[in-house]
């Protein structure tokens, strides 16, 4: 394992999943992912921090071949891509104690066959001695489940944050060598996983103030040898600081909605507003989520299908509502043949967002001059809103 040593006596023993294309049966993985686990050797005890998805347990076991004793298995997060191989590890190491938060203990017992007597619950700030090194536990509830904790190894100034600061990025490089690529993947990961809970993250991040961190080793994606890269990015993202940008997400069946979205995107661009356009029938929903981390304006375009929005538009609206992006303004561009309640139904699905609803543009049939004038007016309204935010 020497070629996977990330710090003195700390080894990466997780698995790279190059082929996985979908996470949680929902999130596309264009770059695959990793399930990171770390072996920490002390002078007296050895600890394993997190495990791997059960589908890749053999990879973890292969790295542990020759490791005769593991005294502690640290479960920072009960979700199965990190905890699913715990029963296998407890069977391999019958003397090992499973260490987690009190909430994590109850969740792990519910999720898999783990005897309660093998679990030790630790409180926020508790420490565990490995001899010449110490693991200190920092509770980070609701980042992104209620039982989540981080682990700090002060002797190496090394933070294990589990899903926090992670990225779905398969790479045979242990460290974030290509920082730009890693940051893009981390922003997308934040948007899909962490953004709905940015309030909890913002409240918890001050717990790391004053903690000297030289390395961040998350449970997905590369290790950060320059922690400021991801720490600064998270401070920006959770602060929800908007940029002069708009996201246009649309579906079109016969071209009317697409022609209006194309025209509208050009109108926004001509006013200096950065615009990203997403065809919901073909685009990766993760890219839309990433755009909404800092775009203050969302416009959804859809034809009318059986009296309401196209199903892809409804799915997109539902996911946006669930992700709770810091969007300030929402509008709709709608086409219809004979009637319906498309705008009302879209608005209802997006009701969880605290936004200003800007007047929609609703077109019957193919768009005409009056419809394009209405799109110009909506672009002017968005320009004025962005000026109010001092984005121009």
pLDDT at residue 259, rounded to an integer:
97
Query: Reduced to 3 states, what is the DSSP secondary structure of residue 136?
Result: strand
User: What pLDDT is recorded for position 2?
Assistant: 62
Query: pLDDT-derived band of residue 27, with 50, 70 and 90 as boundaries?
Result: confident
pLDDT in tens, 59-75: 999 999 999 999 999 99
Query: Using an 8 Å Cβ cutoff, are 264 and 375 in contact?
Result: yes
pLDDT, residue 348, reads 96
Long-range contacts of 315-319 (CB under 8 A, 24+ apart): 315/280, 316/249, 316/251, 316/280, 316/285, 316/288, 317/346, 317/349, 317/350, 318/349, 319/285, 319/289
Question: Quick one: pLDDT at residue 3?
Answer: 76
Which domains, ranges and CATH numbers included, belong to the chain?
2-238 (3.60.15.10), 245-386 (3.40.50.360)
Whether the per-residue pLDDT at 387 is higher than 90: the answer is yes
Q: Check pLDDT > 70 for residue 356.
A: yes
Buried-exposed string 11-21: b where 16+ CB fall within 10 A, e elsewhere: bbbbbbbeebe
Q: Where are the alpha helices (DSSP H) in 123-255?
A: 179-189, 198-204, 228-238
Q: Give the pLDDT confidence score for residue 341 in this predicted structure.
A: 95
- pLDDT, tens digit, for every residue of 157-208? 999 999 999 999 999 999 999 999 999 999 999 999 999 999 999 999 999 9
373/216 Cα distance (integer angstroms): 52
Q: Please, what sign has the CA dihedral across residues 229, 234, 235, 239?
A: positive
Average pLDDT over the chain, rounded to whole? Answer: 96
Tens of pLDDT, residue by residue over 291-344, are 999 999 999 999 999 999 999 999 999 999 999 999 999 999 999 998 899 999
Contact 90, 98 (CB under 8 A): yes
- Measured between alpha carbons, how far apart are the two ends of the chain, in Å? 52
Alpha helices in the chain (DSSP H): 57-63, 80-83, 86-92, 102-111, 179-189, 198-204, 228-238, 256-270, 285-291, 311-323, 342-349, 369-388
Distance in angstroms (rounded) separating the CA atoms of residues 27 and 195: 14
DSSP 229: H
pLDDT at residue number 24: 85
The model's confidence at residue 45, banded by pLDDT at 50, 70 and 90, is very high
* Whole-number pLDDT of residue 1: 60
The mean per-residue pLDDT over the stretch 274-301 comes to 96
| DSSP helix/strand/coil, 65 | coil
Q: Residue 53: pLDDT above 80?
A: yes
142 CB contacts (<8 Å, ≥6 apart)? 148, 197, 200
* pLDDT average, residue stretch 265-291: 95
How do residues 212-269 score in pLDDT, each as one tens digit?
A: 999 999 999 999 999 999 999 999 999 999 999 999 999 999 999 999 999 999 999 9
Q: What CA–CA distance (Å, rounded) separates 223 from 31?
A: 16
The residues that bridge with 108 in the sheet, in sequence order, are: none
């Amino acid at each position: 394992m020497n070629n996977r040593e990330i710090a003195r006596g700390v080894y990466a023993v997780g698995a790279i999943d190059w082929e996985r294309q979908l996470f949680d049966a929902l999130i596309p993985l264009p770059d695959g992912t990793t399930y990171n686990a770390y072996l920490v050797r002390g002078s007296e005890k050895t600890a394993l921090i997190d495990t791997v998805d059960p589908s890749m347990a053999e990879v973890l076991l292969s790295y542990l071949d020759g490791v005769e004793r593991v005294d502690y298995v640290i479960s920072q997060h009960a979700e199965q891509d990190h905890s699913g191989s715990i029963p296998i590890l407890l069977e391999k190491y019958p003397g090992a104690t499973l260490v987690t938060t009190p909430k994590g203990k109850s969740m792990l017992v519910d999720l898999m066959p783990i005897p309660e007597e093998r679990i030790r619950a630790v409180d926020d700030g508790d420490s565990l001695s490995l001899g010449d090194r110490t693991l200190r536990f920092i509770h980070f509830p609701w980042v992104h489940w209620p039982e989540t904790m981080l682990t700090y190894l002060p002797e190496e100034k090394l933070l294990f944050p589990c899903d926090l600061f992670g990225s779905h990025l398969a790479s045979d490089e242990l460290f974030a060598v290509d920082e730009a690529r890693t940051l893009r993947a981390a922003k997308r990961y934040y948007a899909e996983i962490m953004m709905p809970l940015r309030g909890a993250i913002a409240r918890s991040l001050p717990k790391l103030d004053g903690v000297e961190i030289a390395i961040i080793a998350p449970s997905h994606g590369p290790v950060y040898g320059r922690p400021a890269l991801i720490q600064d990015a998270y401070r920006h993202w959770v602060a929800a600081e908007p940029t002069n940008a708009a996201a246009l997400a649309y579906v079109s069946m016969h071209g009317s909605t697409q022609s209006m979205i194309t025209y509208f995107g050009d109108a926004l661009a001509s006013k200096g507003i950065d615009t990203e356009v997403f065809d919901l029938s073909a685009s990766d929903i993760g890219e839309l989520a990433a755009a909404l981390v800092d775009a203050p304006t969302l416009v959804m375009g859809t034809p009318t299908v059986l009296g309401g929005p196209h199903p892809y538009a409804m799915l997109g609206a539902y996911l946006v509502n669930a992700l709770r992006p810091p969007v300030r303004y929402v509008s709709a561009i709608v086409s219809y043949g004979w009637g319906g309640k498309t705008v009302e139904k879209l608005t209802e699905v997006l009701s969880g967002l605290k936004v200003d609803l800007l007047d929609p543009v609703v077109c019957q049939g193919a768009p005409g001059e009056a419809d394009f004038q209405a799109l110009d007016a909506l672009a002017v309204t968005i320009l004025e809103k962005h000026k109010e935010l001092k984005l121009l």
